Amino acid sequence: GAGVSQSPRYKVAKRGQDVALRCDPISGHVSLFWYQQALGQGPEFLTYFQNEAQLDKSGLPSDRFFAERPEGSVSTLKIQRTQQEDSAVYLCASSSQGSSPLHFGNGTRLTVT
Amino acid sequence: KQEVTQIPAALSVPEGENLVLNCSFTDSAIYNLQWFRQDPGKGLTSLLLIQSSQREQTSGRLNASLDKSSGRSTLYIAASQPGDSATYLCAVPNSGAGSYQLTFGKGTKLSVIP
Residue A98's pLDDT is 58
pLDDT digits (tens, 9 = 90+) for B34-74: 999 999 988 899 999 999 899 999 999 999 999 999 999 99
Do A92 and A44 contact (CB within 8 A), yes or no?
A: no
Do A78 and A66 contact (CB within 8 A), yes or no?
A: yes
At B97, the pLDDT band (50, 70, 90 cuts) reads: low
Whether A42 sits inside 8 A of B89 (CB atoms) is yes
Residue A101's pLDDT is 78
Average pLDDT of chain B to the nearest whole number: 93
Residue A69's pLDDT is 98
- Among chain A residues, the shortest Cα distance to B9 is held by A40
Report, as an integer, the average pLDDT of A13-22.
98
Where residue B41 falls (left for φ over 0; alpha for ψ -120 to 50; beta otherwise) is: left
> Which is nearest to A23 in space by CA: A93, A100, A87, A95?
A93
Residue A1's pLDDT is 53
pLDDT of A77 strictly over 80: yes
Pairwise CA distance, residues A108 & A92, whole Å = 9
Give chain A as a 3 state SS string: CCCCEEECCEEEECCCCCEEEEEECCCCCCEEEEEEECCCCCCEEEEEEECCEEEECCCCCCCCEEEECCCCCCEEEEECCCCHHHCEEEEEEEECCCCCCCEECCCEEEEEC
Whether B44 sits inside 8 A of A102 (CB atoms) is yes
Half-sphere exposure of A93 (CA within 13 A, CB side): 31
Our CA-based measurement puts residue B72 at a distance from the nearest CA of chain A, in whole angstroms, of 18
Helix and strand numbers, DSSP H then E, in chain B: 0, 11
Helix (H) or strand (E) segment spanning residue B95: none
Neighbours of B105 (CB within 10 A): 25
Our CA-based measurement puts residue A40 at a distance from the nearest CA of chain B, in whole angstroms, of 7
Q: From the list A40, A99, A106, which residue is nearest B43 (CB)?
A: A106
- In eight-state DSSP terms, residue B17 is -
Give yes or no for B83 touching A (CB within 8 A). Answer: no
